[in-house]
A and B are shown apart, each in its own frame.
Chain A
Amino acid sequence: MNSVNDERMKAPLILEGTAAGPHATEPDTRNAIRSQRHLGHVALQSAPLALGLLALLLAPVFLSDFRLSLLAKFLTYAIVALAIDLVWGYAGMLSLGHGVFFGLGGYAFAMYLKQEASRGALPDFMSWSGLTELPVFWAPFANAWFAIPMTMIIPAAVAGLVGYMVFNSRITGVYFSIITQALALIVSILFIGQQPYTGGTNGITNFQTIFGRALILDDVRLTLYYVTVAVLVLSFLLSRWLISSRFGWLLVALRDDENRVRFIGYNPAHIKTAILMFSAALSGVAGALFATQVGIISPALIGVVPSIEMVVWVAVGGRGTLVGPIVGAILVSAAKSSLSEGSPDYWSYYFGALFIGSVLVFPQGIVGGARQLSSFVRRRRPGYRRV
């Protein structure tokens, strides 16, 4: 048994330059082994996932109201992190502007929440800045069923517009990152400047009710928490389906060699725009859930700094894995809130150290690093077969 294994491990070396090798002679055994390993692999991957989901579902039983609301906030971050990972970890485009998409979704839903809080009157910040009438574009957002789809449509439309212009001009790599960062800066400055329409630096806050029910009620908070969990799970499943489809392979292909993608007949600009739009829509939903549960959306939450923080979640958790960004967003945010409870001034230093440390020690992030470690251990175990 062992001698066969050894041969298999060496096989790629022996095979160099020739097509026929030990593999070719026993395809049936090989397939059988592969399907067995596949089953084992699925079980191994699904067990932690199921445990994680169970923990999220049971969290309300064990956590205080304060901790639960924190967790809900972290879960909205996890959705953004997942969205960034699709664009960065898979398609290889580092976006430093996802705060914008998060923010657009947040503002879209805040426009609904604020109007419901104002009960037909002009929202408070508008009258403070001298408006006498509700701006036309605000009016339709009084209806939640208009606002909800808009939390996805508006960010996706902005992503589509910016993405198509950028990608069609064949702007890639670090230049794309710089443009997205500029976008985050521009949008946050714009929102600060347009105080009568956006609430300026303060953003939009003082929400009261959602669908007529007070936001401070326990059952409303619990429902919102479970909605957030559901959106996260749904986003995860959708993303997993997407990256395991041939479209997902195409994303990885783009990361590997964009020019080759063009020369197999696809227009890379279309694929990149599509995935950026999808990612923006997910981020928008996350922003809406954030605004509702945290009770505020403001330029400080969507600008350059938060956008970079979002990228750090993905890097720490492990880009190119779907679980990684979720783990990263929750852990980093939890560390931030617990460390800054003790010493708020030092958080930036901790944050920087965490980022540098994780990049140096686990360049693949926590999840990527753990996977590498486990495959290293498995390879060392007797009976391992390289397939």
Chain B
Amino acid sequence: MPENKILVCEDVSVAFDGFTVLDHLNFSIDYAELRFLIGPNGAGKTTLLDIITGKTRPQSGRVFFDCSGTQVDVLRHQEHYLVRRGIGRKFQTPAVFSSLTVFQNLAVAVSYLRNPTAVFRAINRQDFAKVMDTLEKVGLTARSEDKAGSLSHGEQQWLEIAILLVQESKLLLLDEPVAGMTRPERERTGELLRSIGNDRSVLVVEHDMEFVRQFANTVTVLHLGKVLSEGPMELVQQDPEVIQAYLGHNKARVLQDASAAGH
């Protein structure tokens, strides 16, 4: 495994009922990197996240995750094990525990199986502080006693990010974190992702090109199960192949609009 890579996917292929979703894909993420993953519908973005989190097994290929020096063979472990090693995931639709309060959501996540009996004891001072800090960070302190189900859509997305943060995930996989958010909410989320990306690796799947343009440093474009292009957003969006891939999709217009707005 190369130095400073936290995740490496080698030659990964997935097919569902004969339909190729990922086609000999090679992909990797560095330590402390904020990476955006874009691509037209059906490019295989969510499937890639499924592979990395152990939800789906590929037909061929290898995936390794670097857990503080030791290599974890992702394809040999179940989801919950990979989560404990440091791969955290936020789903496309917010998945929080709606009948628990915001605080309880995090208290359950933080207690984590460091020690299997910890969950029978009250939350300790350290974990409590961690939960409170995280609430502060995502701006949900004032709502800590409210049921998570009563939060707005945007707040639920933040809560889900907060869950990953209290667990100290080393690699955060975020599937469309700004979907359905208002403009100010998107701004805040973008800032949040930037600050998170300082000391962790974050992979964001996003459809909102304006948001990607605004906050992405490095972008990977996935198309038909392969990496079509990778690099800084300014270069990627001028790549003729990328423009070609997006033609025929509504996104082409968005991409060009976003590009025009930048110049």
Contact of A260 among B84, B96, B99, B146 (CB under 8 A): B96
CA distance A260 to B145 in the complex (A): 20
CA distance A298 to B230 in the complex (A): 70
User: Is B150 part of the contact surface with A, judged by Cβ < 8 Å?
Assistant: yes
CA distance A23 to B111 in the complex (A): 27
Residue pair B163, A252 in contact (C-beta under 8 Å): no
Nearest CB in chain A to that of B188: its residue: A19
User: Is B30 part of the contact surface with A, judged by Cβ < 8 Å?
Assistant: no
Q: 1/0 per position for B58-90, CB-CB distance to A under 8 A?
A: 000000000000000000001110011000110
Contact of B83 among A20, A247, A256, A264 (CB under 8 A): A264
CA distance A266 to B88 in the complex (A): 12
Residue pair A24, B108 in contact (C-beta under 8 Å): no
7 A-B pairs closest in CB distance: A19-B139, A265-B83, A253-B97, A256-B97, A260-B95, A24-B142, A264-B109
Given contacts A252-B97, A260-B95, list 4 more A-B pairs with CB under 8 A.
A250-B108, A256-B96, A260-B97, A266-B113
Between-chain CB contacts (< 8 Å), 13 pairs? A12-B146, A246-B120, A246-B123, A249-B104, A253-B97, A253-B100, A257-B97, A262-B79, A263-B79, A263-B88, A264-B83, A264-B112, A267-B80
CB neighbours (8 Å) of B145 from chain A are: 34, 387
Nearest CB in chain B to that of A268: its residue: B80
Contact of A253 among B80, B108, B122, B167 (CB under 8 A): B108
Contact of A19 among B89, B97, B142 (CB under 8 A): B142
User: Is A17 part of the contact surface with B, judged by Cβ < 8 Å?
Assistant: yes
CA distance A16 to B142 in the complex (A): 12
User: Is B182 part of the contact surface with A, judged by Cβ < 8 Å?
Assistant: yes
User: Is A370 part of the contact surface with B, judged by Cβ < 8 Å?
Assistant: no
Cβ distance B157 to chain A, nearest Cβ, rounded Å: 11
CB neighbours (8 Å) of B107 from chain A are: 246, 249
Contact of B141 among A19, A262, A268 (CB under 8 A): A19
Q: 1/0 per position for B131-156, CB-CB distance to A under 8 A?
A: 00000000111110110001010110
With contacts A19-B139, A253-B108 taken as known, whether A262 is within 8 angstroms of B100 at the C-beta atoms is no
Residue pair A266, B100 in contact (C-beta under 8 Å): no
Residue pair A246, B111 in contact (C-beta under 8 Å): yes
CA distance A16 to B154 in the complex (A): 9
Cβ distance A226 to chain B, nearest Cβ, rounded Å: 30
CB neighbours (8 Å) of A246 from chain B are: 107-108, 111, 118-123
User: Is B191 part of the contact surface with A, judged by Cβ < 8 Å?
Assistant: no
Interface range, A side: 20 to 34
User: Is A178 part of the contact surface with B, judged by Cβ < 8 Å?
Assistant: no
Of residues 26 through 76 on chain B, the ones whose CB sits less than 8 Å from some CB of chain A are 53
Which residues does A use to contact B, with CB under 8 Å? 12, 15-17, 19-21, 23-24, 34, 245-247, 249-250, 252-253, 255-257, 259-260, 262-268, 387
CB neighbours (8 Å) of B167 from chain A are: 264-265
With contacts A246-B111, A249-B108 taken as known, whether A21 is within 8 angstroms of B100 at the C-beta atoms is no
CA distance A227 to B146 in the complex (A): 41
Contact of A17 among B88, B99, B154, B163 (CB under 8 A): B154
Cβ distance B89 to chain A, nearest Cβ, rounded Å: 5
User: Is B257 part of the contact surface with A, judged by Cβ < 8 Å?
Assistant: no
CA distance A190 to B253 in the complex (A): 68
CB neighbours (8 Å) of A20 from chain B are: 142
Residue pair A267, B141 in contact (C-beta under 8 Å): no
Residue pair A256, B152 in contact (C-beta under 8 Å): no
Of residues 196 through 248 on chain B, the ones whose CB sits less than 8 Å from some CB of chain A are none
With contacts A262-B80, A264-B83, A266-B80 taken as known, whether A255 is within 8 angstroms of B99 at the C-beta atoms is yes
With contacts A245-B120, A263-B53, A264-B83 taken as known, whether A17 is within 8 angstroms of B95 at the C-beta atoms is no
CB neighbours (8 Å) of B18 from chain A are: none
CB neighbours (8 Å) of B53 from chain A are: 263
Residue pair B140, A19 in contact (C-beta under 8 Å): yes
CB neighbours (8 Å) of B89 from chain A are: 263
CA distance A19 to B100 in the complex (A): 19
Contact of B98 among A12, A16, A23, A256 (CB under 8 A): A256
Nearest CB in chain B to that of A30: its residue: B145
User: Is B184 part of the contact surface with A, judged by Cβ < 8 Å?
Assistant: yes
Cβ distance A20 to chain B, nearest Cβ, rounded Å: 7
CB neighbours (8 Å) of A34 from chain B are: 145
Cβ distance B130 to chain A, nearest Cβ, rounded Å: 14
CB neighbours (8 Å) of A15 from chain B are: 142-143
Cβ distance B205 to chain A, nearest Cβ, rounded Å: 15
CA distance A384 to B142 in the complex (A): 20
Nearest CB in chain A to that of B138: its residue: A19
Of residues 167 through 204 on chain B, the ones whose CB sits less than 8 Å from some CB of chain A are 167, 182, 184-185
Residue pair B79, A247 in contact (C-beta under 8 Å): no
CB neighbours (8 Å) of A387 from chain B are: 145
Cβ distance A210 to chain B, nearest Cβ, rounded Å: 35
CA distance A53 to B107 in the complex (A): 34
CB neighbours (8 Å) of B80 from chain A are: 262-263, 265-268
Q: Which of A245, A252, A256, A259 has the most CB of B within 10 A?
A: A256
CB neighbours (8 Å) of A19 from chain B are: 139-143
CB neighbours (8 Å) of B143 from chain A are: 15, 19, 23
Nearest CB in chain B to that of A260: its residue: B95
Nearest CB in chain A to that of B185: its residue: A17
Nearest CB in chain B to that of A267: its residue: B80
Cβ distance B188 to chain A, nearest Cβ, rounded Å: 9
Q: Which of A249, A265, A266, A267 has the most CB of B within 10 A?
A: A265
With contacts A21-B142, A266-B80 taken as known, whether A247 is within 8 angstroms of B150 at the C-beta atoms is no
Cβ distance B255 to chain A, nearest Cβ, rounded Å: 28
CB neighbours (8 Å) of A259 from chain B are: 91, 95
CA distance A268 to B120 in the complex (A): 16
CB neighbours (8 Å) of B112 from chain A are: 264-265
Nearest CB in chain A to that of B135: its residue: A19
CB neighbours (8 Å) of A21 from chain B are: 142
CA distance A34 to B145 in the complex (A): 11
CA distance A219 to B234 in the complex (A): 89
